[in-house]
A and B are shown apart, each in its own frame.
Chain A
C-alpha cells in the first residue's frame, strides 16, 4: 500500500513539473533550454586540497655540506684562496699581500680539515737554478705568514715551479709582476 501511495505521489509531482514547463515554453520560445537542474542532483564533494608534501623534500644544505659535496677540482676552480705577488728577486710578504693572506687564513679556519699546497713561482728574469730556490722561499714565507695567523703548518705543503709555469707568457713588467706569485691549491678537505 505504501508503495502505491509513493508511486502516485511521484506521478503527481512529475505531472505538475511537466505542466509548469509547458507554461514557460509558451512565453519564451527562442531562449535555449535551461541548464539542467543541478540543484536537484546529488552534490559532488568540493575538491579536497592536499596540503601535505607528496615527496620528501631535502633539508637545506649547510655551507659545510655544500663544500663537502664538491670535488677538489670544482673547489680549486672557484679559487677561494687568492694568490699573492712578490717584488722582483724578493720573497718577503708585501703589505698588499697581508690582507689577502688574512682572508685566506679566515677561510682556512672555517674549513679546518682543508690541506693546501702553496706553489711558489718566479718570473723569467732569474736563472733556472736560483729561481727554483726562490720559488721555494716564496712558498715558505707564505706558509710562515699563514702560520703566524694561526693556521697549523701541518695543513700546508709547499712546492716551487721556478719560472717553468708562468701565468702570463708576456715579456714585460706587467707579465713579470703577475708571474712572481704564490698561489694556493687545495689538496685535501
Chain B
C-alpha cells in the first residue's frame, strides 16, 4: 500500500486551508472583541479550540456569564462531528502512527484538515499530518488576531458589515449541500424553524443561546435520522466547514 508521510507535502496541502481560515478567523476576531473579549483572549481561544462553529457558539456563553455546563454541552454537541472524523481518520493512519502521536494530531483534526488528509490515496503518516496541520493553525490564530485588532480600529460601518461575514460563510457551507440533497435541505429548514421559535416566542426566548443551539440542532437531526436516514456509509466525509 502506498504511504504519504512527507512534511513538505503536508505543508503544501495546508496552504489553501490556511488562507481560507485566515479570512474566517478575521470575522471571528471581530465578533469576539465586539462581544467583550480582549484581543489576547480571542487569540488564545482560536489557538486552543481551532473550530469556527464551536467558538462562535462559545463566546456569547462566556461573555454573557453562562454556566460551565452550558458551555461544555454546547461544545460537545456542536463538535460531535469531529468524533466521527477522528474515527475515520484513524483508520487511514499507517501502523507507525502510535497512540502518543494521535494525542497531537487529534488537536488539529478540523473539517478541512480531515477532508484533505482523507483524500490521499493509501496510508498517511504523522509527518504529513504535522505539515498539514501547521499552516491552518497559524492562519486561524493569525486571522483572529488581525480581526480582533481591526475590530478596535475599523469604523462602525465596516464593523457592521463584517458582522455578517461569518454567517455568510456558514450559508456558503449549507446551501450547496442542501441544493444537492433534499433530505438535508428539509432537515435544515426544520432546524431554522425551531431556532426562530426559540428566539421569538417570549416563553422560550429566555433559554440560553447554547442550549437553544443544542435543542434545535439535535431535534432536527434526530427527526431526520429516523425519518430520512442517509444511505451510504461514505457520507462521513461530506461534512465540511
| B is a partner of A | no
Interface residues of B (CB under 8 A from A): none
Interface residues of A (CB under 8 A from B): none
